[in-house]
Chains A and B, each alone.
Chain A
Amino acid sequence: MSQMTQPGGPPKRPPPWNDPRVRAITFQVLVSAGVIAVGVYLVHNLLHNLAVRGISTGFGFLDNRAGFAINQSLVHYDESSSYGRTFVVGLLNTLLVSGLGIVFATILGFVIGVARLSRNWLVSRLAAAYIETFRNIPLLLQILFWYFAVFLNLPPPSEALRVGDSVFLTLRGLYLPRPEFGDGFGWVALAIVAALAASAALARWARARQERTGERFPVFAASAGLVVVLPLAAYLLAGRPVTLHSPELEGFNFSGGVSVIPELAALLMALSIYTAAFIAETVRAGILSVSHGQTEAASALGLRPGWTLRLVIIPQAMRVTIPPLTSQYLNLTKNSSLATAIGYPDLVSLFAGTTLNQTGQAVEVMAMTMAVYLAISLAISLFMNWFNARMALVER
């Protein structure tokens, strides 16, 4: 009953210049108008200057013939493809190296982060040395090191390092046999899908049973068995529909087979190792944020140390780890643009480099490139926020 009617009717509104609401709105409108005006001025200035200097504008160039070659493409590309196609090729190459980089950096980062907390003196010191070394050397130097000092010092094709007659490692790349899928491979694919579906169903059933009866079922071993045995059986029954084509030395280079170019390998190596050092630290921070009482409580309940880590520590540590992990993923993706230093045909090197130079359409090409990085980063952020919300502590 604190609100009492004042004598003399309802409270008087203050004059507009003293009304916080009116003031707030006024300032917001003024600032927005200022920002818009600057933006409009910049765009207009740009268009004007482009016109005055006779520089052609517009996105029509994307349909023109590119006419240059690219040494790694996930989709079909040849010299008669368009500039628009080079954009797709560059984008896919960026996604490839970022995606693989995120996977490797995460695995390595978690291992190093846990090792850093190990009670074994040697293991924890080694992990610390790893983190301090790779975190503190500029990434560009690491990329150049892996490329020029490591991969380009591998032997030439004529003296390739080999595993059997089908895997070759040279400074031109790693050559693996190429599988060719014959008739009947559909059955194998079907078996893989069926095995995965069965494993998922098994996991659900096992969890329900454990909640009902408290008995555990070895889900992992059973699923692993399913995933291996079913496709293998299908493969044998369908008459071995996969044939391997080994790479062979022909003239200057190996041909046939699948190859991984050294530019990709060096970039991937540098990005994963560098980012893993940061991820290790966020993992360590996450684990240390879980109070020791939780471990004690878990052992009081009779959980084994491995289970304590998996069921008690990690789920709570994830809450602290995921947000900084997201920024590491974003960093890795953006850092992949350093590819241009060693000639890996990523989006920046290929599209914002070669294509920009051949067409001279700097504004359009740069705008598209920036939009792509923005979109990739936002997609990663969205996914990680969703993941974070799932992993957050659920209050019961």
Chain B
Amino acid sequence: MKVRTLLSAICVSALALAAVPAHAGATFEAVKKKGFVQCGVNSGLPGFSAPDEKGVWKGIDVDVCRAVAAAVFGDANKVKYTPLTAKERFTALQSGEIDILSRNTTWTVTRDGGLGISFTGITYYDGQGFLVKKKLGVKSALKLSGATVCVQSGTTTELNLADYFGLHKMKFKPVVYDTADETVKSFEAGRCDVLTSDQSQLYALRSKLAKPDSAVVLPEIISKEPLGPAVRQGDVEWFNIVRWSLFAMIDAEDLGVTSTNVDQMKSSSKNPDVKRLLGVDVIKHGLGVPDDFAYKIIRLVGNYSEVFERNVGAGSALKIARGQNALWTKGGLQYAPPFR
């Protein structure tokens, strides 16, 4: 009894005595000190983040990290990558192992509220779809009752799947794997009739099949999956830098600035919006990065359109159309606040 009293006394006093240090701004300072951005990415999702044959990481999610490095250091290559599974990703960010989580992660309210992380924006507007073998002859997701469905664990996909089948009073059997690779392998072997994931991923995963033509993506999209980078909560300075790195790329597309014409635009453009974006007219943005950080991002990484087309669009194997990811002026949803 006495021992316990003593123990609790020690506990309470330890809790009471420890000071609470200020936390804001810690990530930015730490990043500047170590000289690179530690970025959590998908371990292999073509178009989003995957190492190419030379071992260089490529993809939209990778380019977000490169943009942040360009903004902070003026060098897009000052990034180190941590490949993560869906299950590992939040813990890696919470624990401080990575500075940015840029891993095709869906922005939801519970993730913003309860996980201690904050999403900084939307790099890709996605939605969940279904991939089925052609020989099943299924034309609509509503005909999938009784099917076995392969899905990756720890994703919003797992929840949407149950919701969708429940709503339409259909039965299904899930088979849940940790990685996209296992999911594809097992779909290919025939363990499941359907593979479900974000639609952009379905195209990427289909390209991994031995015979990509043997499977089709069904037309239904059953959910909203806004994918974007996330940082730890409460670190406003770092949050702003990551957020505005993405906005810079979208605004650049809006203003017609590309990596090829950025130098010429910088020296000759009369457009005040372009002059502010590229740091010709200095605006005291107060983000803590150089005045011309957007110029560096555009020169070294490109504008949003360039990033999209070379990774998932016309310039890639995936050939995904811009669709919802077109600029707001072209019927899409991509929109960034102004640089002023």
**Residues on A facing B (Cβ under 8 Å):** 36-37, 40-41, 43-44, 47-48, 50, 52-56, 67-71, 79, 148, 152-153, 156, 171-172, 250-253, 255, 262-263, 340-343, 345, 349, 353-354, 356-360, 362
Q: Which of B167-185 contact A (CB under 8 A)?
A: 172-178, 182, 185
> Is B259 close to A, CB under 8 A?
no
> Residues 203-246 of chain B: 1 if any A CB is under 8 Å from the residue's CB, otherwise 0?
00000000000000000000000000000111000000000000
Query: A68 touching B159 by the CB < 8 A rule?
Result: yes
- In the complex, what residues of A have CB within 8 A of residue B116's CB? 50, 53-55, 360
Closest CB in chain B relative to A67 CB, distance in Å: 5
For residue A47, which residue of chain B has the nearest CB? B15
- Assess A253 versus B148: contact at CB under 8 Å? Given A52-B234, A356-B154: yes
> Is B193 close to A, CB under 8 A?
yes
- In the complex, what residues of A have CB within 8 A of residue B191's CB? 152, 171-172, 262
Q: Which of B86, B147, B162 is within 8 Å of A68, CB to CB?
A: B162
- Assess A54 versus B14: contact at CB under 8 Å? Given A69-B162, A343-B175, A343-B182: no
When chains A and B are docked, how far (Å) is the Cα of A154 from the Cα of B146? 20
For residue A251, which residue of chain B has the nearest CB? B146
**Residues on B facing A (Cβ under 8 Å):** 7, 10-11, 14-15, 18, 20, 23, 86-87, 90-91, 94, 110-111, 114-116, 136, 144-148, 153-155, 158-159, 161-163, 165-166, 172-178, 182, 185-186, 189-191, 193, 232-234
Query: B176 touching A71 by the CB < 8 A rule?
Result: yes
Closest CB in chain B relative to A288 CB, distance in Å: 43
Query: A48 touching B173 by the CB < 8 A rule?
Result: no
With A340-B178, A343-B153 given, can you name 10 additional A-B contacts, CB distance below 8 Å?
Answer: A36-B10, A44-B15, A70-B174, A70-B176, A71-B175, A251-B147, A343-B175, A343-B177, A360-B110, A362-B91
Query: B172 touching A69 by the CB < 8 A rule?
Result: yes
Closest CB in chain A relative to B238 CB, distance in Å: 13
- In the complex, what residues of A have CB within 8 A of residue B178's CB? 340-341, 343, 349, 353
When chains A and B are docked, how far (Å) is the Cα of A153 from the Cα of B23? 54
- In the complex, what residues of A have CB within 8 A of residue B86's CB? 357
- In the complex, what residues of A have CB within 8 A of residue B91's CB? 362
- Assess A253 versus B14: contact at CB under 8 Å? Given A53-B233, A358-B159: no
Closest CB in chain B relative to A234 CB, distance in Å: 37
For residue B115, which residue of chain A has the nearest CB? A360
Query: B176 touching A357 by the CB < 8 A rule?
Result: no
- In the complex, what residues of B have CB within 8 A of residue A68's CB? 158-159, 161-162, 174
Query: A148 touching B15 by the CB < 8 A rule?
Result: no
- Assess A156 versus B147: contact at CB under 8 Å? Given A343-B175, A356-B87: no
- In the complex, what residues of B have CB within 8 A of residue A153's CB? 189
- In the complex, what residues of A have CB within 8 A of residue B189's CB? 148, 152-153, 171
- In the complex, what residues of B have CB within 8 A of residue A54's CB? 116, 233-234
Query: A71 touching B174 by the CB < 8 A rule?
Result: yes
Query: A67 touching B162 by the CB < 8 A rule?
Result: yes
Query: B233 touching A41 by the CB < 8 A rule?
Result: no
For residue A45, which residue of chain B has the nearest CB? B18
When chains A and B are docked, how far (Å) is the Cα of A263 from the Cα of B174? 12
- In the complex, what residues of B have CB within 8 A of residue A253's CB? 146-148, 173, 193
- In the complex, what residues of A have CB within 8 A of residue B177's CB? 342-343
When chains A and B are docked, how far (Å) is the Cα of A40 from the Cα of B153? 34
Query: A55 touching B234 by the CB < 8 A rule?
Result: no
When chains A and B are docked, how far (Å) is the Cα of A356 from the Cα of B94? 13
When chains A and B are docked, how far (Å) is the Cα of A153 from the Cα of B191? 9
Query: A52 touching B23 by the CB < 8 A rule?
Result: yes
Q: List 8 A-B contacts (CB under 8 A).
A: A36-B7, A53-B23, A56-B114, A71-B175, A252-B148, A357-B87, A358-B154, A362-B90
Closest CB in chain B relative to A297 CB, distance in Å: 56
Q: Which of B7, B146, B153, B165 is within 8 Å of A255, CB to CB?
A: B146
When chains A and B are docked, how far (Å) is the Cα of A339 from the Cα of B159? 21
- In the complex, what residues of B have CB within 8 A of residue A156's CB? 190
- In the complex, what residues of A have CB within 8 A of residue B155's CB? 357
- In the complex, what residues of A have CB within 8 A of residue B14's CB? 37, 40-41, 44
- Assess A152 versus B154: contact at CB under 8 Å? Given A36-B7, A343-B175, A345-B176: no
When chains A and B are docked, how far (Å) is the Cα of A36 from the Cα of B6? 11
- In the complex, what residues of A have CB within 8 A of residue B144's CB? 252
Nearest 9 Cβ contacts at the A-B interface: A357-B154, A55-B116, A53-B116, A152-B189, A360-B115, A251-B146, A79-B162, A68-B158, A54-B116
Closest CB in chain B relative to A276 CB, distance in Å: 27
- In the complex, what residues of A have CB within 8 A of residue B190's CB? 152, 156, 171
- In the complex, what residues of B have CB within 8 A of residue A340's CB? 178
- In the complex, what residues of A have CB within 8 A of residue B147's CB? 251-253
Query: B158 touching A53 by the CB < 8 A rule?
Result: no
Query: A362 touching B94 by the CB < 8 A rule?
Result: yes
Closest CB in chain A relative to B30 CB, distance in Å: 15
For residue B189, which residue of chain A has the nearest CB? A152
- In the complex, what residues of B have CB within 8 A of residue A148's CB? 185-186, 189
- In the complex, what residues of B have CB within 8 A of residue A354's CB? 87, 153-154, 158, 176
When chains A and B are docked, how far (Å) is the Cα of A172 from the Cα of B193? 10
When chains A and B are docked, how far (Å) is the Cα of A362 from the Cα of B94? 10
For residue B165, which residue of chain A has the nearest CB? A69
Q: Which of B87, B94, B161 is within 8 Å of A353, CB to CB?
A: B87
Query: A55 touching B94 by the CB < 8 A rule?
Result: yes
Closest CB in chain B relative to A305 CB, distance in Å: 49
When chains A and B are docked, how far (Å) is the Cα of A2 from the Cα of B176? 76
Closest CB in chain B relative to A76 CB, distance in Å: 15
For residue B233, which residue of chain A has the nearest CB? A54
Closest CB in chain A relative to B234 CB, distance in Å: 6
For residue A153, which residue of chain B has the nearest CB? B189
- Assess A40 versus B11: contact at CB under 8 Å? Given A68-B159, A152-B190, A253-B173: yes
Query: A55 touching B114 by the CB < 8 A rule?
Result: yes
- In the complex, what residues of B have CB within 8 A of residue A349's CB? 153, 176, 178
When chains A and B are docked, how far (Å) is the Cα of A362 from the Cα of B97? 15
When chains A and B are docked, how far (Å) is the Cα of A44 from the Cα of B94? 17
- In the complex, what residues of A have CB within 8 A of residue B146's CB? 250-253, 255
When chains A and B are docked, how far (Å) is the Cα of A343 from the Cα of B173? 13
For residue A149, which residue of chain B has the nearest CB? B189
For residue B89, which residue of chain A has the nearest CB? A357
- Assess A67 versus B163: contact at CB under 8 Å? Given A48-B20, A354-B176: yes
- In the complex, what residues of B have CB within 8 A of residue A251's CB? 145-147
Instruction: Output the residue of B111, B162, B165 with the most chain A CB within 10 A.
Output: B162
- Assess A152 versus B186: contact at CB under 8 Å? Given A349-B153, A357-B90: yes
When chains A and B are docked, how far (Å) is the Cα of A379 from the Cα of B301? 58
When chains A and B are docked, how far (Å) is the Cα of A36 from the Cα of B14? 11
Closest CB in chain B relative to A353 CB, distance in Å: 5
